[in-house]
Amino acid sequence: MSASLPERDLPLAEELATVFTQMSGLLLSQETVETALHTIATLAQTTLPGTVAAGLTLVDVHGRRTTAGASDRVTQRADALQYELDEGPCLTACAQRTLVRVDDVAHDERWPRWARAVRPLGVYSTLSAPLVAGDTTLGAIKVYGQHPGIYDAHAEHVMTLFAAQAAVLVANVQTVENARSLSTQLRDALRNRDVISTAKGVLMAREGVDEDTAFARLVAMSQRDGRKLRDVAETLVRAASQRRR
């Protein structure tokens, strides 16, 4: 870490780095991802005095927002209120890519509906930091406090450390998931091509037609029956296989 960081932050930075190192190289299943995000949120909660809840908000490519790694139901509900009302400090941190601190929700006028709704949960202070990877905002990490004025400049600095590690983890997870999705799509495309080619061969042999005509007949069958082309092809190939037995 940089020598400019306060000494009291070094153990925390090393602990966060260890969390990510333990995750790297693993096949990131949904379970291991949730475990890692929960660990980061738990570290945030235990490191910042007065914090009663912590978690991460993740934003997908369609703008859908979900809570991950939540420490307890307070995080889930406080976050849900932000999503339902479409306002709140965590959403502002995401949208503006800036750290957002609320010293007392009772006297903060930036998100009046959310502030009123969240007070019965015992939330009075919040601190949110954006998760940014390159030019992409992935979400935000946030903590909720049970008393006003518990977060200061040092807490902001600590949250920046958490956000940096969490962003690396989330970006890595998304890269793996995107690769899996592409691989699945390619496999499906190859399977579709193979079964359709086999079905064309069946029609060509059975009816003595050329490849284009065989394909046209498959399409016509698909449209007539209201079924996918692949499903029609699979049925035709299966029937031909059974006749040969």
Domain ranges of the chain: 7-181, 182-244
| Size of the chain in residues | 245
Look up residue 67 and give its amino acid: T
Q: What is the predicted pLDDT for the residue at 245?
A: 61
Q: Per-residue confidence of the chain (245 residues) as pLDDT tens digits?
A: 344 444 445 456 666 666 555 555 444 555 566 777 788 888 888 888 899 999 999 888 788 899 988 888 999 999 999 999 999 999 999 999 999 999 999 999 999 999 999 999 999 999 999 999 888 899 999 999 999 999 999 999 889 988 887 887 777 776 666 555 555 555 666 677 778 888 888 888 888 888 888 888 888 888 888 888 888 888 888 887 777 66
CA 165 to chain centre: 15
Q: What is the predicted pLDDT for the residue at 27?
A: 44
The kind and range of the H/E element at 201 are helix 153-207
Q: What is the predicted pLDDT for the residue at 3?
A: 40
Q: What is the predicted pLDDT for the residue at 167?
A: 85
What is the CATH number assigned to the segment(s) 7-181? 3.30.450.40
Region at 226 (left for phi over 0; alpha for psi -120 to 50; beta for the rest): left
Q: What is the predicted pLDDT for the residue at 89?
A: 97
Please enumerate in sequence order all residues whose Cβ is within 8 A of that of 156, keeping only pairs 6 or more positions apart, or say none.
Answer: 99, 101, 127, 129
The kind and range of the H/E element at 57 are strand 51-59
Q: What is the predicted pLDDT for the residue at 37?
A: 79
Highest CATH level, class, for 182-244: mainly alpha
Give the position of tokens 């019965």. Answer: 120
Q: The whole model's pTM is what?
A: 0.65
Integer Cα distance of 41 and 50 in angstroms: 14
Closest-CA residue to 102 (of 162, 149, 163): 149
DSSP state string for 157-178:
HHHHHHHHHHHHHHHHHHHHHH
